Amino acid sequence: MRGMTAASDSATERLEELQVTLGEGPCREAFECRRPVLVSDLADGAMARWPVYTPEAQAGGVRAVFSFPLQVGAARLGVMDVFRGRVGMLSPQELALALAFAEVAVATLLRRDGSEPYPAEDWLDRSLGSRAELFQAQGMVSIQLGVGLAEAMVRIRAYAYAHDRRLPDVAADIVARRLRIDGPQP
């Protein structure tokens, strides 16, 4: 999982970006394990799984989270997260609806129906552009510090988290040479 494509609102966007920045959370786990992650109560064991993400999610009002991998066979396309402001497992009907939404998301990403793009679909172009910029920033930091790509991404994420900035904004500043990440991070 490299970045977020879409969010329903700014609070959700912040929670999704936080998982990318921190490198932990239910979305990342669902992506890496290739299975749904269903957490009906973040206060019950989630701290052991995601020690930095969990308190941030709880501070944002999230009490339960359900992550569904978007995949076709071995091809992983992403993850769809559903956040809940109260404790509790999804009902069978809610679970079926979430799985149906996940299927629609996969079909949309693959455009299996052959339809034309949605008129307001420039959000996907913007997302892919910011993701490309993140990879470019990763390469720049790797060369600047003489470290591997994985370490460079860790440094960028650490900077974004330590300075409470969005990962795409930090990447844009690195690429535009307004920011240089040198040495150990706070």
Q: Into how many domains does the chain fold?
A: 2
Instruction: Assess if residue 18 is contained within a domain.
Output: yes
Is the pLDDT at 83 greater than 90, yes or no? yes
Q: Which of 78, 110, 142 is the last residue of a domain?
A: 110
Residue 160 lies in a domain: yes
Note whether 29 and 98 are same-domain residues. yes
pLDDT digits (tens, 9 = 90+) for 35-70: 999 999 999 989 999 999 999 999 999 999 999 999
Q: How far is CA 80 from the centre of its chain?
A: 9
Report the CATH number at residue 162. Answer: 1.10.10
Looking at the structure, tell me whether residues 142 and 95 fall in a common domain: no
Same domain as 149, residue 66? no
Q: Is the dihedral of CA 113, 102, 16, 77 positive or negative?
A: negative
With 0-12 / 13-18 / 19 or more C-beta atoms within 10 angstroms meaning exposed / middle / buried, residue 69 is buried
pTM exceeding 0.85: no
Would you state the pLDDT for residue 119?
40
Whether residue 151 sits in one domain with residue 64: no
